[in-house]
Amino acid sequence: MTRIIDISPVVRPGLPVWPGDTAVDFQRTWDMGKGSPVNVSKLTVSTHTGAHADAPLHYQADGADMASVALEPYLGECAVVHCLGEWPVVTRLALTRQIGLVCGENVPERILIRTWRQAPRDTWDSEFTAISPDAIDYLASRGVVLIGVDTPSVDPETSRTMDAHKRVASHDMRILEGLILDEVDEGRYELIALPLKLAGLDASPVRAVLRELAR
């Protein structure tokens, strides 16, 4: 049996969220301890909580919502590449070099980029590494349809122009953010990270996993 690697953070109250965004909150609405025959809970989260998929609606006023996007980009062969020490952005040169080392000329349609040596789980860190717009152009030129990152965004926290997201939009690519890649070696895997079918919404949390490819 091939090994499954969970690359999603635990969603829980206290999970760091983008400054000003909705905090995670759990409330028990029906409680067996209070006489109910079942436990039922209410979950309050941002659409961008933990590991999540951005819908085009997140960065395009007329973009597709989460219920409308095709599922194919979120399921299939991917490559994990390490760009540790790159800051404030992963450049096209750095990404080209690393993808060449990991993939050679056979680049899969999904690329996941590790930038943290250890992703923060208990505190918010504004100094995360973003992805340069020309690096996204490079990925598109190699046929990549999905880019995944272990940070909260492909753009810097202070960005107001959202240049990386706009390049993603121009190439009709998809984005996964908030992954945990600390223990994942560089190489090829099968990605499974399906978003919920949320009508009218701009993103969805995902349970992102990697499955080792059969050798």
Residue type for position 29:
T
pLDDT score at 173: 98
How confident is the model over 140-156, as pLDDT tens digits?
999 999 999 999 999 99
Residues forming beta bridges with residue 6, ordered by sequence position: 209
% of the chain at pLDDT higher than 90:
98
| Spatial separation of the C-alpha atoms in residues 172 and 36, rounded to whole Å | 48
Domains of the chain: 4-9+49-212 (3.50.30.50)
Is the pTM value of this prediction over 0.85?
yes
pLDDT (0 to 100) of residue 214: 80
**Burial annotation 128-149 (CB, 10 A radius, 16+ → b, else e):** bbbbbbbbbebbbebebbbbbb
Backbone dihedral angles phi then psi of residue 136, each to the nearest 5 degrees: -70, -40
- Give me the active site residues, please: 58
In the predicted structure, residue 2 carries a pLDDT above the cut 90 = no
